[in-house]
């Protein structure tokens, strides 16, 4: 499996609108096992995105999907920046098959 944990900063006051776009674009992404969008409880403009994919190729392929491309286009004006991104290798957990 392939994972990403990212911290994104929304333009001031636009976090809710940006999160709606992120959540609406996740319904059909082949190879996506989990895509969680969360508010940062201590920062009104920060968003955490936690992704788990079957493999890195599935993640890369998702970036060319029409729904993802449309979401990127709509979201761009609301994004102030990306503050952190960590690549992970998920091994399993609630909702995921455990790798041995």
- Residue partners of 84: CB distance under 8 A and separation at least 6: 5, 6, 7
Checking if the pLDDT of 5 tops 90, the result is: yes
Question: Quick one: pLDDT at residue 74?
Answer: 95
Checking if the pLDDT of 95 tops 90, the result is: no
CATH architecture for the domain at 2-88: 2-Layer Sandwich (3.30)
Does this model's pTM top 0.85? My answer is: yes
C-alpha to C-alpha distance for 32 and 18, rounded to whole angstroms: 20
- Residue 5 β-bridge partners: 50, 86
pLDDT tens-place string over residues 40-91: 999 999 999 999 999 999 999 999 999 899 999 999 999 999 999 999 999 9
């Amino acid at each position: 499996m392939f994972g990403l944990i990212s911290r994104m900063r929304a333009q001031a006051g636009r976090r809710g609108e940006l999160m709606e776009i992120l959540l609406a674009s996740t319904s059909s992404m082949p190879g996506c096992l989990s895509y969680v969008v969360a508010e940062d409880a201590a920062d009104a403009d920060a968003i955490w995105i936690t992704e788990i994919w079957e493999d890195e190729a599935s993640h890369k392929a998702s970036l060319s999907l029409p729904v993802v491309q449309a979401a990127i286009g709509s979201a761009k004006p609301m994004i102030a920046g990306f503050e952190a991104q960590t690549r992970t290798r998920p091994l399993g957990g609630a909702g995921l098959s455990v790798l041995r």
